Structure 1
Amino acid sequence: MDIKAVQNSYARWAPVYDKTFGAITNDGRRRAVNYINAREGNVLEVGVGTGLALQFYRSDLRVTGIDYSEEMLAQAKKKVTRLGLTQVEALRQMDARALDFPDNHFDTVAAMHVLSVVPEPERVMTEICRVCKPGGQVVITNHFKREDGPLAVLERVSAPFANVLGWHSDFAIETVLGEDMLEIEERKALPPLGMMTFLVLRKKTA
């Protein structure tokens, strides 16, 4: 997906995202944050968007959110101010393909409904792995393509319109499983109809 197309798409969606795609993906987002809340330390949320998840993080966690879209970040910053979210340390505009953080920096990296909307997702996963501490976890919720059934047909039909829709309907899970230092710890299909997947990867310590 072209980065300019992503930028334009989310500039259009930012004012209404919470009540459209945001509402559809809320269950996966809450599951991911509930999982992260059982952990300690600092958290990076890649593709924080309008900040829908921010209020649900435990108050003593240290959360940094990044997003490429200035329009989406503006909505997130309003939420932080309005709700007094002290757990949010920073919200920064950044390209997920080149994260401006040191190696082995975050205890947890979250990527919720973002990997199928970014250009070069394999490169994004490389960066996520780099900034995650050894022994740390990468928590992902995302739609991944089906191999058969009526929904698989719909995904293939929608695929050529990725730049218009703002996401890849035929996104393969193998795209996010290519990092040798990340191993699967948990994988579950989420309702409704198993359209979303909850995925936890742990970074090896050696």
Structure 2
Amino acid sequence: MEIDAVRSSYRRWAPVYDATFGAITGVGRRRAVEHINRRSGSVLEVGVGTGLSLPNYRSHLKVTGVDYSAEMLAKARERVMDQGLDHVVGLREMDARALDFPDGTFDTVVAMYLVSVVPEPEKVVAEMARVCRPGGEVVVLNHFARDEGTVARLERGLAPFADKIGWHSDFSMERVLGCRALEVVEKRTAPPFGLFTLLRFEKRAHADA
């Protein structure tokens, strides 16, 4: 997807996102954040959207969120203000392919339901690795294409409409596994119905992205 298509798609999605896709992905988001809550320090959520996950982070964490959609971020800021989420220390409009943070800024970097909706996802993962400290964690929660079966055929059928629906239905997991700075430490299915996958990576101490 081109970046302008992403912006246009999420401008359309912003008013109804929470009640539609947000509702479908709620359990998966909570489980990802439950893991992050067992960690400490600073967290960067890439593709924070309307901030659906922000209330679930525990107060001992310092959470920053970035997103390319101004409309989504406006809703996230409203959520932070309305719910008094003091652990959220910043929400910024930003292209995930060029994160405006120094190397090794965050203890944990997470992207939920993002990598199949952005152009150049390999660059996004490399940037997530760059801004994560050595020994820290990168967490990716996403739908990945299946190799066979009815669902796989449906994914391939929807693929030409990526710019309209806002995500790549036939997105391959291999596209997020090539960053040399990251080592996979966990891979497990996530609800609903195991349609999504949670990947946990550790940032290697001495490796280039």
TM normalised by structure 2 equals 0.97
1:63 aligns with 63
State the one-letter code of the partner of 2:45. Answer: E
State the one-letter code of the partner of 1:194. Answer: G
Give 3-state SS (helix, strand or coil) of 1:19's partner.
coil
State the one-letter code of the partner of 2:99. Answer: L
Note the residue ranges of structure 1 that are not aligned, 5 or more in a row.
none
Q: Distance in 2 between matches of 1:192 and 1:36?
A: 20
Q: Distance in 2 between matches of 1:134 and 1:60?
A: 21
The answer to whether residue 154 in structure 2 is matched with residue 169 in structure 1 is no
1:123 aligns with 123
2:142 aligns with 142
Once the two structures are TM-superposed, the CA of residue 180 in structure 1 deviates from its matched residue by 0.7
The answer to whether residue 27 in structure 2 is matched with residue 27 in structure 1 is yes
1:51 aligns with 51
Q: Distance in 1 between matches of 2:193 and 2:55?
A: 27
1:188 aligns with 188
2:79 aligns with 79
2:199 aligns with 199
Counting matched residue pairs gives 206
Aligned-residue CA RMSD in angstroms? Answer: 0.6
Moved over 6 A (4+): none
TM normalised by structure 1 equals 0.99
Q: Distance in 2 between matches of 1:99 and 1:174?
A: 22
Deviations 1:9-44 (CA, angstroms, capped at 9, x unpaired): 100110110000101111111111000000000000
Percent identity, please. 61
Give 3-state SS (helix, strand or coil) of 1:17's partner.
coil
Once the two structures are TM-superposed, the CA of residue 191 in structure 1 deviates from its matched residue by 2.7
State the one-letter code of the partner of 1:198. Answer: L
State the one-letter code of the partner of 1:29. Answer: R
